[in-house]
Amino acid sequence: MAGIQLFTDNEAVSENWTADVQNIVSAIIQEGTTNLLKYSHANLAEIKFREYDSTIQVIIKDNGLGMTVKRQGASGVNGMEHRVLAAHGKFTIKDKDGVVIIVELPKELIK
């Protein structure tokens, strides 16, 4: 990825995820990595998948500049949030020492 060292932890990825969950996760990863490549100036990135009792979690983390533009104009980030909230999930961005995007989706979306 354009001079970025990428680490993944996909142990929790399940074949039992519904098509809806797979589509949401795919869109989040696509938009998150696009933003990372375009704006972050990071040299390290990490994508993690976690499965808990009632949720699944996707974490995209980088060591770049952080959110250098106001979120109000960030249509890609807003689109990610909208997808997650429409699925009754939780969307969190932490902006310290890079950006961390945390997506939590209810497990009941998984067959």
Each residue of 31-43: b (16+ CB within 10 Å) or e? bbbebbbebbbbe
Contact 35, 95 (CB under 8 A): no
Give the mean pLDDT of the chain: 84
Tens digits of residue pLDDT in 43-82: 999 999 998 888 889 999 999 888 765 544 567 888 899 9
Tens digits of residue pLDDT in 74-97: 678 888 999 999 999 999 999 888
* Ranges assigned E (strand) in the chain: 5-9, 44-51, 55-62, 90-95, 99-106
Give me the domain span that covers residue 65. 5-109
pTM of the complete model beyond 0.75: yes
CATH number of domain containing 18 = 3.30.565.10
Report the percent of the chain where pLDDT is more than 70: 88
Domains held by the chain: number: 1
